[in-house]
Structure 1
Amino acid sequence: MKLLSAIAATVFTFSSTNVTYAADAEQVAVVKGTQITGVTVSNQGDIFVNAPNWRDGVSFAVARINKSTDKFTPYPDNAYNQCVANSDVRDDCFLAVQSVVASNDKLYVLDTRNPKFQQVKDAPRIFVIDLNTDKVEKVLTLSAQAYHQDSYINDLRIDHKTNRVYMTDSAHAGLVVYNLNDDSSYRILDNHHSTRAQVQTLNIQGKAFTMQVQSDGIALDTYNDTLYYHALSGYTLYAINTADIKQGGDIANKAIWEVAKTGAPDGMILDKRGNLYLADLEKQQVQYLTPAHDLRTLVEGEAVNWADTFSIYNNYLYYTNSKIQDAGKDVSNMHFEVYRVKLPD
């Protein structure tokens, strides 16, 4: 993979032992004029990103980054990406993609079907692409019970133990579950205090961010069968055991617990050692919460500018800079990067 630059970062930790971990953030790729949010790296090392439908003229919804040229190529082909520019509502192409996740040789493309936050046009869905053939093999469509008209289904995690997909709704607070065994889908913790935003305004690099964002970041601990989630406009990380996630009826408050106080993050992810990575958007940092609940800083500074979404591959954390606080109606002269940073030992 061609690395365009390396930016040194001053980092520190919040641990009681005052151990300092230093890391360099390496720029992997950059695209001009297309705001990217999601990133994921497949088992083969292929990097995929997505661009949300937040303005007219978006050049692609999903793209694969060419390893030798660093160019962004619409994926799986141009046809599936032709609807996003003009918000054409069709079943055979992407409308408003917010997240991409590679898992077990498949790419899960989460389409909110809510372009420009103007209400859901039809049911939100997940396009499942076979990475061996580069073909869409199925589409998982949410039932009417799983979303609201103002929903913005934001991020997802695949639970291969229970054969379920977990998602957050960042517009209408709550979590969404898709059961792959019977293709049913439903909501949990709908408008629950743990999925609601806690504050109205964030201060991002001296700029007031006043769009209140509900449940957003989500991470799955497959070793302890625990699902973590966090509102973007908030400072509390919550968790629930996957065994307590059931369709029908209310989930008891005792099944949900407060894990830690953190900065306001966007995406989240766990590594194999149990470290939970999340951004502090207001401090331009990528942090990680250790299994001992020490909150440490992995990287900070110019290489972190609204670290949006994370992926882990070959002992590196990959993330996008979506620069949401700076991106207005016209981003044609802005650059949006994918970075990677080595995981702590």
Structure 2
Amino acid sequence: MSSSFVTRRLFLSGIAVGVAGSPLGKVEAKERISVVAHSPFIASGVAVSHEGVVFLGLPRFPGMEKTPSVARVNNRGEPVPFPGGRWNAWQKGQSGSQAFVMVNAIHLFRDNTLWVVDQGAPVGSQPEPGAQKLVQLDVKTGDIMQVLSFPAAIMPPGARFNDLRIHGDLIFVTDSGLGGVIVHNLSTGKTLRRLSGQKVMRNDGVHLHRGIGGRILADGKGKRPDTASDDIEVDASGTWLYFAVPAGPLKRIGVADLLDMTLTDDQLAQKVEIVAEIPSIGGTCMDTRGNIYLADAENSQITVLSPSGKRATLVQDHRMISPDALFIDRNRRLYIPCPQLQKLAFLNDGRNEVQAPFLVLSMPLPDSLDGIPLGAGVEG
């Protein structure tokens, strides 16, 4: 893809919004972006049902031990534990096989069910057997539809589920611990672990994970995060799987190659393509036209990257501190969780400076942006 960067912004009350076809100075910022949720717990993930119900993923970071982990948002913008009961009440020392322990991502797809990615252990701990899992829930009743956990051959010690996408019968999950992609076929039950530990799945030491203003993220002793394959997208045709570590670059590999068991992991690694250099990101989403939306943690903005390589800034807002896992609903609204992760002690020179409430912002997508046609979401 081209590295050209095309930006048009309307600066209103400290917010920059690119609105194709709108006259300068005529669009009120408050009409373009709104707060849809405010949480006392860090909210790093968001998903919206076909009926418009907003769900939040609430990871158990230090200081957030009492989080319910997954919540739906009530009409006051507040999180309510979902589905309720033991699933939202895990405490240290308890079994994690039937409760949410460390929710790293949530997502919702075409079938209108909610998927939760649970790493199974708080930061710095090892998950007990069965605690690291993928959970599917009915968005209306909260019923648990299925729980998927995998043996050590698929998730060896040190592996950590990160995020997932579904296309047809296939679930794709990144491993941000060791690096790799897990592919699970919902119809056959067959599961593959691909690109395990390959260099292309890990940070290269050149691209550094940064926060606002380009600050290199590290703890009080100067230790930088070592997150492997993290963000993940699959295009609408199911042809390409895109992925990145938080510091970039954005890469892709053919889905057919991932499924070709005549190819070794070493051979697969040779087929990985670099798509684009990107700033440090917290999350992504992809619309039906193949545009990838990047949650730019360095510049508190959302950047759109088109299939042709053209880039444009969609929105910039000072409240977007560590914007994370993005979501586009069926009505073409973009949802942006702002969990302030770069202010956590292990990313902020040993100082915990996060401040509640933790916001989820939302805005309608324009029809186009600097000549890039924008689409809808909820693929799968």
- Higher strand proportion (structure 1 or 2): 1
Calculate the TM-score normalised by the size of structure 2. 0.79
State yes or no: 1:121 paired with 2:137. no
Separation (CA, whole Å) in 2 of partners of 1:43 and 1:240: 30
Candidates 237, 242, 257, aligned match of 2:250: 237
The alpha-carbon distance between structure 1 residues 174 and 7, as it changes in their structure 2 partners (threshold 3 A), is farther
Gaps of at least 5 residues in structure 1 are 1-5, 14-19
Separation (CA, whole Å) in 2 of partners of 1:261 and 1:246: 27
User: Which residue of structure 1 lines up, in the alignment, with residue 301 of structure 2?
Assistant: 285
State yes or no: 1:10 paired with 2:26. no
State yes or no: 1:94 paired with 2:132. no
Residue 256 of structure 2 aligns to a residue in which SS?
helix
TM-aligned CA deviation for residue 87 of structure 1: 5.7
AA of the residue aligned to 2:361: Y
State yes or no: 1:271 paired with 2:287. yes
User: Which residue of structure 2 lines up, in the alignment, with residue 17 of structure 1?
Assistant: none
TM-aligned CA deviation for residue 229 of structure 1: 0.4
Residue 86 of structure 1 aligns to a residue in which SS?
coil
- Which structure 2 residues correspond to residues 90-239 of structure 1 after superposition, within 5 A? 90-103=96-109, 104-123=111-130, 124-160=132-168, 163-199=169-205, 201-206=208-213, 207-209=215-217, 210-223=224-237, 225-232=239-246, 234-239=247-252
* Contact kept? 2:195, 2:268, Cα under 8 Å: no
Range with bigger deviation, 112-121 or 212-221 = 112-121
Residue 279 of structure 1 aligns to a residue in which SS?
strand
AA of the residue aligned to 2:151: S
| CA offset digits 1:211-241 (Å, max 9, x no partner) | 1221111111122521110111x33111122
Range with bigger deviation, 275-284 or 179-188 = 179-188
How many pairs are equivalent?
A: 327
* Contact kept? 1:106, 1:129, Cα under 8 Å: yes
* Contact kept? 2:60, 2:69, Cα under 8 Å: yes
User: Which residue of structure 1 lines up, in the alignment, with residue 370 of structure 2?
Assistant: none
* Contact kept? 2:167, 2:238, Cα under 8 Å: no
Candidates 327, 336, 340, aligned match of 2:362: 340
Candidates 68, 92, 99, aligned match of 1:60: 68
The alpha-carbon distance between structure 1 residues 333 and 255, as it changes in their structure 2 partners (threshold 3 A), is closer
Residue 252 of structure 1 aligns to a residue in which SS?
helix
Separation (CA, whole Å) in 2 of partners of 1:198 and 1:25: 36
Task: Name the Cα RMSD after superposition.
Answer: 2.4
Range with bigger deviation, 90-99 or 330-339 = 330-339
Gaps of at least 5 residues in structure 2 are 1-11, 218-223, 346-350, 368-380
State which structure, 1 or 2, has the greater radius of gyration over its C-alpha atoms: 2
| CA offset digits 1:291-325 (Å, max 9, x no partner) | 22112111123131111111101111101011111
User: Which residue of structure 1 lines up, in the alignment, with residue 323 of structure 2?
Assistant: 307
State yes or no: 1:326 paired with 2:343. yes
